[in-house]
Amino acid sequence: VMRRNPFGMDICCQKGSRSPLQELYNPTQVSLSNTAILHQIRRDQVTDMCRANSVSSRKRRVLTPSDLKHLVVDEDHEMIYCYVPKVACTNWKRVMMVLTGRGKYSDPMEIPANEAHVSSNLKTLNQYSIPEINHRLKNFMKFLFVREPFERLVSAYRNKFTQKYNTSFHKRYGTKIVRRQRKNATQEALRKGDDVKFEEFVAYLIDPHTQREEPFNEHWQTVYSLCHPCHIHYDLIGKYETLEEDSNYILQLAGVGNYLKFPTYAKSTRTTDEMTTEFFQNISSLHQTQLYEVYKLDFLMFNYSVPSYLKLE
C-alpha cells in the first residue's frame, strides 16, 4: 500500500501497519498507553451522561446526513474530526488539509485561515452514501475538541459582535438581536446591528422564540447538537485546556507525529476565564440560570464544573 506523507514523498506502509483506532485501543508504545487511560475516563463520562439523559429524552432520533456536516473525513489516516467553532477549529482544519492534501500542503500555518474554512477543501461525512457513512463511523477513529461552554460563548460573542469587520454577522444576527432585545433602539443600531451588548446576546439565546425560529448558529450552538456524541461514539475527546498535548497525541496515533506537530502560537487576544467572569458580571441571576440550562449538557458531558462566578437561582 502506498501512502503519501505531507511532504510529498511516497512512504510505503507495509500491509500490517496499524490504524489510529488499533493504536488507541491497543497501544504499542508505553507513552501512548498512559494518555489512553485519560481518554477512557473522558469517554466514560460522555457515555454515562448519554445514558442518564436518554431516560429523560423521548424517542431516540435517527441522524440524517445534514447532521454530519461538521464531521471532516481523512481517508488516508482513517480519522474523522468533528469541528466545533471557537475550539481551535481553524488550526485543526489546517492540519486536516495537510493530512488529506496528499502532499499539497506541508505546513498548517502556511494555509490562510479563510482557506481553511472553504468547504470544498475538506470532505465531510454527509457527502457519502449511507453504507459508506456507516463503514467509516465503525472503522475510523473519531475525535472532537471541547471547551468550557461559557468561555467558548464569550469567545464567539467577542469575535462576531465586537469586531468591526464581521458585518455579515451584524446584519444577520445583530440587527435581529437589537430589534428584539433593545427598547428605544436608534435607527442606526437597527440598520447596522454592530453594537450588540453581551446582555442582549444572552437574552437572545435564552429567548424561547429564538430556539423555535431556527437552530443556533454553529458558533454558539452546543457541542451536543453539533457533534451528536450520544449517537456517534467518539474515540477521543480533546480539550481546549490541553489542546497541544491532546492534538499531538492524535497525530501520534495517526502515525504522523514525527513530521507533523499541532501549530501553537500564543494568542494574546484569546478569551480567558477571567475575561468570561467579567462578561457575566452584568447578567442577572435569572438569565444566568436560564443560559446554564441551555448549555448544561455540554457542561456535564465534558466534565466542566459550574463556574464559580455564576449566581444560579
Query: How many Å apart are CA 162 and CA 176, to the nearest integer?
Result: 16
3-class DSSP state of 2: strand
Residue 270: Cβ within 10 Å count: 13
Q: What residue spans of the chain are helical by DSSP H?
A: 20-25, 30-56, 89-100, 113-116, 130-139, 149-161, 167-169, 175-181, 187-192, 198-206, 208-213, 223-227, 243-253, 273-280, 285-301
Instruction: Give how far Cα 74 sits from Cα of 15, 99, 101, Å.
Output: 19, 7, 9
Give yes or no for a contact between 139 and 66, defined as CB atoms under 8 angstroms apart.
no
| Domain shared by 38 and 54, yes or no | yes
Determine the pLDDT at residue 213: 92
Both 201 and 163 in one domain: the answer is yes
Based on the domain organization, do 135 and 175 belong to the same domain?
no
Question: Is 311 a domain residue?
Answer: no
pLDDT on residue 58: 54
Residues 131 and 74 in one domain: yes
Classify residue 129: in a domain, yes or no: yes
Q: Is residue 89 part of a domain?
A: yes
- Assess contact for 123 and 28: CB atoms under 8 A: no
What integer pLDDT is reported at residue 10 of this predicted model? 37
Within-domain flag for 61: yes
Model pLDDT, residue 6:
37
CA distance 97 to 99: 5
Q: Going edge to edge, which strands form the sheet with 71-74?
A: 123-124, 71-74, 79-82, 141-146, 236-239
Q: Which domain holds residue 103?
A: 20-149+221-254
> Which long-range contacts (C-beta less than 8 Å, at least 24 apart) are formed by 13-17?
13/255, 17/255
* Same domain flag for 214 and 226: no
Identify whether 284 is part of a domain: yes
Supply 48's cell numbers. 454515562
- If asked whether residues 104 and 76 sit together in one domain, one would say yes
What pLDDT score was predicted for residue 304? Answer: 97
115 and 250: one domain?
Answer: yes
Task: Name the residue type at position 99.
Answer: L
Note every long-range contact of 224-228, with CB atoms under 8 Å and residues 24 or more positions apart, other chains counting.
224/297, 224/298, 224/301, 226/70, 226/82, 226/84, 227/70, 227/71, 227/82, 227/84, 227/144, 228/63, 228/67
**pLDDT of 245:** 94
**Residue 138 lies inside a defined structural domain of this protein:** yes
CA distance 167 to 295: 27
User: What whole-number distance in Å separates Cα of residue 309 and Cα of residue 297?
Assistant: 19
What does pTM read for this prediction? Answer: 0.91
Question: Does residue 66 sit in the same domain as residue 167?
Answer: no
Tally the domains of the chain: 2
CA–CA separation, 287 vs 121, rounded Å? 40
- In this structure, the answer to whether residues 127 and 178 fall within a common structural domain is no
Q: Are residues 39 and 141 in the same domain?
A: yes
> For the segment 42-79, what is each residue's pLDDT rounded down to a tens digit?
999 999 999 998 755 555 678 888 899 999 999 999 99
Residues 200 and 288 in one domain: yes
State the cell numbers at 243. 489542546
pLDDT, tens digit (0-9, with 9 covering 90-100), for 231-254: 999 999 999 999 999 999 999 999
Residues 117 and 51 in one domain: yes
> By three-state DSSP, how is residue 87 classified?
coil
Question: Nearest Cα to 70, choosing from 58, 84, 87, 49?
Answer: 84
Compute the distance between CA of residue 87 and CA of residue 84 in angstroms, rounded to an integer. 6
266 in a domain, yes or no?
no
Which residue ranges in the chain fall short of pLDDT 70? Answer: 1-16, 55-60, 266-267
Q: What is the 3-state secondary structure (H, E, C) of 185-249?
A: CCHHHHHHCCCCCHHHHHHHHHCHHHHHHCCCCCCCCCHHHHHCCCCCCCCEEEEHHHHHHHHHH
Q: Is residue 14 part of a domain?
A: no
CA dihedral 294, 298, 301, 304 (to 10 degrees): -110
Write the DSSP symbol of residue 121: G
